[in-house]
Amino acid sequence: MKLLATFAVFTLFAVATCRRSAEEWKDRVIYQILTDRFAAPGSASWSSCGDLRGYCNGNFRGIIEQLDYIAGMGFNAIWISPLPQHTEGDYHGYSAIDMYTISWHWGTEKDFNDLVAAAHARDIWIMVDVVANHMGIGDVSTYIPFDKTEHYHEYCEIHDWNDAWQVENCWLFGLPDLAQENQYVDNELCYWIDWLLKTYDIDGIRIDTVSHVPKWFWEKFKAAANVYDVGEIYTSDLGKIQYYIPPMDAALNYPFYWTMKDVLIWGKSMRDLANKYNEMKARFGATMHVMGTFADNHDQARFLCDRNSWTLLKNYVMLVLTMEGIPIVYYGTEQGYTGCADPNNRESLYPNYNTDHHLYWFIATTNYWRGVLGTSFTAADQVERWIDDDFYSFTRGDAMMCATKIGEFGNLSRRVSYHNYPIGTVLVNIYNTNDRVTVQSYGIDISITGGEPKLYLPQSYISANAANAPAQHVASE
């Protein structure tokens, strides 16, 4: 009866959905939040959440209240936690017990509709995390819509992560594993994702645990969703990721994420960044433009946990925001959060909505100029201009990025002779507009002081657009 009622409401009152495509998402920059940890109404005056293993009371109304904080960093998309009612206590939301009811912890249907409307009014798109691999822990006979034992695989544990059968059929962390080969499960999951997108006007989805579900099912799920999706395929094996693209539009770029950490945290050669990009570009081609590049996330220790360096973090964030892909920044990175293993990397953001934090400004500045460049930047491939063990420079369109692993105590100079600028062009560093270089017949002389990253644009961009840029300053930490 629940599904019949739901279908009736859906048929009569569903709103039109934009069904944003991968192509449309290319100009988006995503801010990832855990709904429970980001904000509640009035939480700017609260103290930080004391028990990170329980609920911290964040909800949709809190997100609405802090949309200006998000927009102030230049983000035009938000990735939020799974919507369904979940196993009580699972504040993250990845353990659904009723797929057709929004978790009361997050708010009501009206609250969520109000969030979508308020975000869209600011041209901020909504990406929702979705799970089609498993349900929550408990009595499955009470679950909606999968209330029979035949809807699930028989219990087994994953002992060999290279065994595809185990990965696809056994239970992840003891969560009941859905049997997509069951026709009812197959049909219902595809109906549900279509219903979800139509009912709530969602712009895109992040798909959890992709490799735990057979590829043939994702082909049907993708057809039903018909929206930009980025899949979690937790591996550095490019072949395994390529196996799922298509049907996935893209995947979270774990291979590049781990390479960046190896270089910037553990001191490996910057050449590894260029090599990884070239290897991925050869495999994925234009798909690189819609891969999900990310700075921290809820499943990994934060960058500053492993390496306490603001400077190296800025190099990391600049690379994420400027390399090919759709950038994703995890909430709290802009406030210098240092959380290590789960749940310590899932801190409450409240009360730390400090728009004067230098990392907030750094992200806002990068995103502002990314927006100024528009499709001339996002549609452009990155072209390597210099690479050695300590320094990496590349261009996309008219922008030139310079990153280094030397850290805050290091200085270096390089002459970049391979570039795409006319002689005499004045290039300005967006992070310090007093830092200017003129393109000479022999190239561009780049000087790095204190390991700071640089993003150079021709003076013409700065002159035309500087008035609306985030105010240049060195803010408090």
Residues annotated catalytic, as ranges: 208, 232
Nearest CA to 346 out of 52, 70, 129, 44 is that of 52
Look up residue 142 and give its two tokens: 């009470």
Max CA pair span of the chain: 76
Provide the 3-class DSSP secondary structure of residue 70: helix
Which helix (H) or strand (E) segment holds residue 263: the answer is: helix 254-264
Distances (CA, A) of 243 to 207, 215, 216, 219, 248: 15, 8, 11, 12, 9
Measured CA to CA, the distance from residue 393 to residue 376 in angstroms comes to 18
Decide the pairing of beta strands 292-295 and 326-330. Answer: parallel
Measured CA to CA, the distance from residue 139 to residue 147 in angstroms comes to 9
Chain Cα centroid distance, residue 462: 28
* Number of alpha helices (DSSP H) and beta strands (DSSP E) in the chain: 17, 18
Q: Which residues are registered as beta bridge partners of 32? A: 79, 330
Measured CA to CA, the distance from residue 318 to residue 275 in angstroms comes to 18
Q: Which residues are registered as beta bridge partners of 130? A: 207
341: Cβ contacts below 8 Å, ≥ 6 apart: 301
